[in-house]
Each structure stands twice: as structure tokens, then as C-alpha cells.
């Protein structure tokens, strides 16, 4: 079956954040929203059908996870990432940012420190800070080819005994990086030796592009396995963020005991009824949709690259190795932050995430969501070129 990613779906009125927050965040509504990281594609029909079928039953009372929930997760991880996880390592959590908040509260005390590697997904900073923890930056180092490396020398310098957790974005948002096994092994060694628990946020892991592969952090070594909490979810990949379904993977028994008992005490592991239906259907019947979606996204990335090269060479997109977000290097425009925002918002009528929100190293960048029908991308690029012109 050929799935349709071309149709432009009007989400206005559906309560989606992408449109509803335009006025609040940018002061105007006449913007093409290419910011919040969900896609404007219709969800895989198999998932919609399974939800509809469940809705035929008129009672939506307390309901457990389906018997195939964990087997479908275990099978998915084995076939997609060649990682054999045990069912007992897994626990449902109601969202990955919430999971970061949980780790913050269970594994650190107020005033202690959490290390992040910016530019990075902003809740890695916001969630610990709002819980009274201090955030320590270990900025990524930009290479000549535009990609990034971790800075292990700086990590050794900034890491002191108050640092208790390092949050890893794997694959990395906003730059769309798939970290290499070598880098992850080195990070695992460092964190193990410095008693830093690693939280590996792998929400983008099922969207590796252009022949790249995702390497699960906990799978790279014994030290990684015994000193980590991994978060994964079907929500980004299958465009079901509004349904909310995610889980953590904790191979080490003592970390698991500490974390899972807290989660259970607070009943955060009870999956809402529709999460279970959507997750099992995505993992059992969504593979072909996922493949076609990724192929379509790759086409959008190539379109952005070609268009920028031809019509606005001052914008240099970094080809993502995973996911539907493109990191645009706009530094050649030589604009201050406010001028750059003004160009995108008031002149080009586009709402993108500006790079500064992702922390040090994000200055002069914009993050563009290309999980969109191609016509929308074309229109957005044309508006940007006209504004720059």
C-alpha cells in the first residue's frame, strides 16, 4: 500500500499546539508553523482503525495494557536495533520529558548538578532547573563539516562531585545526529568512572535517515548497560504524541529497583487505554508506513538542501542523520538574534524554533520541521528566499 504524505491537512481547530500557540509565541497567526516536533501527516491507517475499533466498545473504564504490549516493544527493539531487552527491564512512563523529571527527583537532590550537551532539546535544561537542580553545560564542538563531536576534555573539566546525571540525546535533537558506537563507549566509560548516571533519550531512534543506524546507548558496553536509563517511544515516529506512550529501559537491577519502585508508588506506569492500542498497532503493523514516511522525509531534506544551494546559499542546512528536523546554519546572514527572528517571522512568515533556545552553540541557527507535505516545504522555502532577497 502506498501511503499519502502529500495531502495538506488543516489542523486548525483541532487544538494542536503548532497552530494554537502561534499568537502567544510570535504575536501573529499568519505563519507557516514548522516548529513543534510533530508531523503534519495523517497517522498510519492501521492505528486509526485499531483506535476506532476500540471505540466501538462503549465503556472506557480503567483498563490494563494489552497482553501484547511488552512483547511488541521487545520485538520492535530486537528487530530494529539488534538489542535484546528483557521484559523486566521495561516500564511505561507517561512521556519522556516527564521521565526526565522523574529521574531528576529520584536520582538527584536539590542543588545537585545535571550535565547536558548543548545545543540540545531545551527541556533537558528546563526540567532540572525547574526542579531546583543546577545544569552544567558541556557544549558540543562543531566540526568543519558542520557536524558535532562531544568534548571529552571539557567534560572532565566541568564534572565535579555534585554532578550526578548526564542527559544524552541519542539521536541528537536539534542537529539530527546519530552518535557513533565509539563515542558512546567513551561516554559510557567516563560516566561510569565519575558516577554519573546516563539518561539516554532515544525518542528519535526509529527515524535514522540516509542509511544511518541508531546505536542504543545501553547496548554499547557493560558500563553503559549498568549505568543508564534509556527512554524510547513510538510517539514521534508514528505521529501519535497526543496519545502519549513511552517507556524506560533499565537493565541494571539496582537502578531499576530504585526507579521502578518510585514510579509504581506514584502509579505513573499505568498506560492510558488508547496508548496501549496505538503502541501495539504501531509496532505490529506500522513498519511499512514508517519506511515510506522516512523516505518522504528524506525527499524533503533533499529539497531543502537543493533549494538553499540554488536560491539562498546563506542558509546552510545540516543533513540530519535521523528524524524530521533540519538544523539550518544561518550564520552567513550575519544577523543578530532579533534580526534573524524578525526575518523568519515578520518577513518570511515562518515559525521555526530559533537556535538560541537550545543553549550555547545554537546562536545563528534555526530548526526547521520537515515532517510536512512537500507543498508546504516548497511554500516555506519560497517565502524565506523572497524575504532574504
Ligand X SMILES: Cc1ncc(COP(=O)(O)O)c(C=O)c1O
List of residues contacting ligand X (CB under 6 A): 37, 95-97, 121, 169, 173, 201, 203, 233, 235, 241, 246
Closer CB to ligand X, 233 or 366, in the complex: 233
- The two counts, helices (H) then strands (E), for the chain are 14, 15
Q: State the nearest-atom distance from the C-beta of 342 to ligand X, in Å.
A: 25
For residue 24, the minimal CB distance to ligand X (Å) is 18
If the CB atoms of residues 115 and 233 are measured against ligand X, the closer one turns out to be: 233
Measured CA to CA, the distance from residue 385 to residue 389 in angstroms comes to 6
Pair 87, 75: CB distance under 8 Å? no
The SS3 call for residue 143 is coil
CB of 298 to ligand X, least distance (A): 19
In whole angstroms, the minimum distance from the beta carbon of 386 to ligand X comes to: 29
Compare residues 121 and 217 and give the one whose CB is closer to ligand X. 121
**CA gap 317, 34 in Å, rounded:** 15
> Helix (H, G, I), strand (E, B), or coil: what is residue 148?
strand
Residue 382, all three cell numbers? 519560497
By C-beta, is 117 or 173 nearer to ligand X? 173
Q: Tell me whether residue 221 or residue 246 sits nearer to ligand X (CB atom).
A: 246
In what order do the strands lie in the sheet containing 246-249? Answer: 90-93, 246-249, 228-232, 197-201, 163-169, 113-116, 134-137
Cell of 17: 499546539
How far apart are CB 170 and ligand X at their closest, in Å?
9
Nearer to ligand X, 72 or 245 (CB): 245
Query: Taking a C-beta distance cutoff of 8 angstroms, is the pair 245, 237 a contact?
Result: no
Q: What does the alpha-carbon distance between residue 284 and residue 68 come to, in Å, rounded to a whole number?
A: 9
CA 176 remoteness from chain centre? 9
The residues, any chain, with a CB within 8 Å of residue 26's CB and separated by 6 or more, are: 345, 351
Nearer to ligand X by Cβ, of 174 and 251: the residue is: 174
**In the complex, minimum distance from the CB of residue 193 to ligand X, in angstroms, rounded to a whole number:** 26
285 burial type by CB count under 10 A (0-12 exposed, 13-18 middle, 19+ buried): middle
Question: Rounded CA gap, 117 and 132, in Å?
Answer: 19
Question: What's the rounded Cα separation, in Å, for the pair 299 and 324?
Answer: 11
Q: CA 19 to CA 34: how far, in whole Å?
A: 10
Q: Is the peptide bond before 119 cis (omega within 30 degrees of 0)?
A: yes
Least separation in angstroms between CB 173 and ligand X: 4
Q: Which of 127, 221 has the CB closer to ligand X?
A: 127
Smallest gap from Cβ 123 to ligand X, in A, equals 7
Instruction: For ligand X, give the closer residue by CB, 108 or 173.
Output: 173
Q: Phi first, then psi: give them for residue 260, nearest 5 degrees.
A: -70, -35
Least distance (Å) between residue 279 CB and ligand X: 12
Amino acid at each position: 500500500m502506498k501511503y499519502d504524505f502529500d495531502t495538506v491537512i488543516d489542523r486548525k481547530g483541532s487544538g494542536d499546539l503548532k497552530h494554537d500557540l502561534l499568537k502567544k509565541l510570535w504575536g501573529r497567526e499568519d505563519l507557516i508553523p514548522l516548529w513543534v516536533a510533530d508531523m503534519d501527516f495523517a497517522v498510519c491507517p492501521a492505528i486509526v482503525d485499531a483506535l476506532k475499533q476500540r471505540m466501538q466498545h462503549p465503556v472506557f473504564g480503567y483498563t490494563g495494557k494489552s497482553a501484547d504490549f511488552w512483547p511488541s516493544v521487545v520485538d520492535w527493539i530486537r528487530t530494529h536495533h539488534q538489542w535484546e531487552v528483557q521484559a523486566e527491564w521495561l516500564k511505561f512512563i507517561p512521556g519522556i520529558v516527564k521521565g526526565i523529571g522523574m529521574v531528576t527527583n529520584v536520582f538527584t537532590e536539590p542543588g545537585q548538578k545535571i550535565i547536558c550537551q548543548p545545543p540540545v532539546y531545551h527541556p533537558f535544561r528546563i526540567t532540572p532547573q525547574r526542579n531546583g537542580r543546577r545544569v552544567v553545560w558541556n557544549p558540543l564542538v562543531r566540526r568543519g563539516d558542520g557536524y558535532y563531536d562531544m568534548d571529552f576534555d571539557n567534560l572532565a573539566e566541568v564534572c565535579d562531585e555534585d554532578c550526578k546525571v548526564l542527559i544524552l540525546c541519542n539521536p541528537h535533537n536539534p542537529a539530527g545526529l546519530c552518535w557513533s558506537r565509539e563515542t558512546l563507549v567513551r561516554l559510557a566509560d567516563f560516566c561510569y568512572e565519575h558516577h554519573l548516571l546516563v539518561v539516554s533519550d532515544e525518542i528519535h531512534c526509529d527515524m535514522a535517515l540516509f542509511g544511518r543506524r541508531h546505536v542504543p546507548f545501553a547496548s554499547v558496553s557493560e558500563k553503559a548497560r549498568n549505568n543508564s536509563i534509556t527512554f524510547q517511544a513510538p510517539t514521534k515516529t508514528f505521529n501519535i504524541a497526543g496519545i502519549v506512550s513511552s517507556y524506560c529501559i533499565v537493565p541494571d537491577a539496582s537502578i531499576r529497583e530504585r526507579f521502578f519502585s518510585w514510579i509504581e508508588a506514584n502509579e505513573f506506569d499505568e498506560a492510558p487505554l488508547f496508548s496501549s492500542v496505538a503502541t501495539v498497532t504501531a509496532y505490529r503493523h506500522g513498519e511499512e508506513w514508517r519506511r515510506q514516511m522516512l523516505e518522504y522525509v528524506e525527499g524533503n531534506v533533499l529539497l531543502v538542501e537543493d533549494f538553499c544551494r540554488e536560491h539562498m546559499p546563506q542558509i546552510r542546512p545540516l543533513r540530519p542523520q535521523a528524524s524530521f528536523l533540519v538544523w539550518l546554519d544561518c550564520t552567513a546572514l550575519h544577523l543578530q538574534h532579533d534580526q534573524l527572528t524578525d526575518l523568519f517571522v515578520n518577513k518570511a512568515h515562518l515559525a521555526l524554533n530559533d537556535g538560541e533556545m537550545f543553549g550555547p552553540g545554537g546562536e545563528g541557527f534555526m530548526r526547521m520541521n520537515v515532517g510536512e507535505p512537500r507543498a508546504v516545504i516548497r511554500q516555506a522555502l519560497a517565502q524565506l528566499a523572497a524575504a532574504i532577497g
